[in-house]
Amino acid sequence: MTAPKGTILVTGANGGLGTAIVKNIIARPDLAAYHGVYTVRDVAAASSLQSALRTAKSHPHDVLPLDLSKQSSVRETAAVINAKVSNGEIPQIRALILNAGYREWPGRTRIEDGLDITFSSNYLGHWLLTLLLLQSMDRESGRVVIVGGWVHDPLDEANKANGAFEDEQWKKIFADASSETVESVAKAAWSPSPDDPSKDRKGLSGIRRYGAAKLCSVMMIFELQRRLDSDPELSGISVLGVDPGIMATNITTMTLGWLVRIIFSVVAQIANWAKPNGIMRQPHKSAGDVLAAALETDPPFGKRPKGMYFNGSDLKEPSAEAKDAAKRATVWKTSIKYTELKEGETCLTDWS
């Protein structure tokens, strides 16, 4: 067997897109030669991932527990991975794919430690994981790939279908760059779910909080890249983002009946065939786009792509807020505050 060329780490590996990424890896011998580290919330219940892995002829891998909404879990899993890399048990991380995602529906607001679980699961847990794992990354060609989505941009035309950002008050996620404003998003004071679920049947408040968490994640592409670029040891690492489009996975179909799910899936298949980077996609196609961002060196990537954002396989301009340096800086500082990141926990020089 070819020696593994590095480690590919995928969070949310039991989900629709996560499992499709793993299937794509297994199906290609050049990718299957990488060591896979697949994180899931519950190893014993990760049936989609396990059945995909059972089809692999040869693919070295670990399946590890990780709950991104719990900082203790993020720290524990990062420590396990860092130990495995430092003692040579697994190769350095070539691709860190931040794929896990979570969205709340009406009446299901759950806040832990004062933080919105949507903010923690989509963004903060991934931010902390990344900073802790930088020490294990391949410094020549390592890449961090953040799975984004157009929901990060209230002005994106594609959001018209959900109606969550129609009112003027939702056109900007952070009204300003103050820490109070960022805190109101992080703690779900911005767009809270009403106590009475019947007042928000479409789950619009949850969609907006999901969009806000995705905005923080897309901001991280540019803020982390900027800080890596100024680091003499870590400037070879790239940070990219991919919008996978609408896919008929659990996050979008969990409240739908089985028949509607099947129709959704068939429509997505046809739409994806007609327009590969259109609104609706198949997980298999988006998985290929994520893996291209993680490993491809042909144009438009090149050897060291820096701070690029893609809609599927097309380059895309993220929202103006995602590139707002003042807002990004406050989100970064707030992340340090909430995770209580300390000197020595990350090897990034410009972390604070």
Nearest alpha-carbon partner for 122 in 156, 153, 98: 98
Of the residues 34, 38, 210, 338, only one is catalytic, namely 210
Question: Minimum CB separation from ligand NAP for residue 162, in Å?
Answer: 11
Question: Minimum CB separation from ligand NAP for residue 30, in Å?
Answer: 24
Nearest alpha-carbon partner for 95 in 27, 12, 35, 148: 35
Instruction: Report the 3 state secondary structure along the chain.
Output: CCCCCCEEEECCCCCHHHHHHHHHHHHCHHHHCCEEEEEECCHHHCHHHHHHHHCCCCCCEEEEECCCCCHHHHHHHHHHHHHHHHCCCCCCEEEEEECCCCCCCCCCCCEECCEEHHHHHHHHHHHHHHHHHHHHECCCCCEEEEECCHHHCCCCHHHHHCCCCCCHHHCCCCCCCCHHHHHHHHCCCCCCCCCCHHHHCCCHHHHHHHHHHHHHHHHHHHHHHHHHHCCCCCCCCEEEEEECCECCCHHHHCCCCHHHHHHHHHHHHHHHHHCCCCCECCHHHHHHHHHHHHHCCCCCCCCCCCCEEEECCEECCCCCHHHCHHHHHHHHHHHHHHHCCCCCCCCCCCCC
CB-nearer residue toward ligand NAP: 251 or 331: 251
What are φ and ψ of residue 240, in 5° steps? -135, 160
CB-nearer residue toward ligand NAP: 24 or 141: 24
Question: Minimum CB separation from ligand NAP for residue 105, in Å?
Answer: 12
- Is 210 one of the annotated active-site residues of the chain? yes
CB-nearer residue toward ligand NAP: 212 or 234: 212
Of the residues 214, 309, 327, 338, only one is catalytic, namely 214
Residue nearest to ligand NAP (CB): 15
Q: What sign does the CA torsion over 33, 37, 43, 46 have? A: negative
CB-nearer residue toward ligand NAP: 47 or 86: 47
Query: For binding to ligand NAP (CB under 6 A), which residues are involved?
Result: 12, 14-18, 40-42, 66-69, 99-102, 121, 147, 149, 244, 246-247, 249-252
CB-nearer residue toward ligand NAP: 93 or 100: 100
Using an 8 Å Cβ cutoff, are 289 and 221 in contact? Answer: no
Using an 8 Å Cβ cutoff, are 13 and 22 in contact? Answer: yes
Question: Minimum CB separation from ligand NAP for residue 188, in Å?
Answer: 15
- Is 303 one of the annotated active-site residues of the chain? no
Question: Minimum CB separation from ligand NAP for residue 39, in Å?
Answer: 7
CB-nearer residue toward ligand NAP: 69 or 319: 69
Question: Minimum CB separation from ligand NAP for residue 61, in Å?
Answer: 16
Question: Minimum CB separation from ligand NAP for residue 9, in Å?
Answer: 13
Distance CA 115, CA 124 (A): 10
CB-nearer residue toward ligand NAP: 48 or 141: 48
Residues carrying an active site annotation = 210, 214
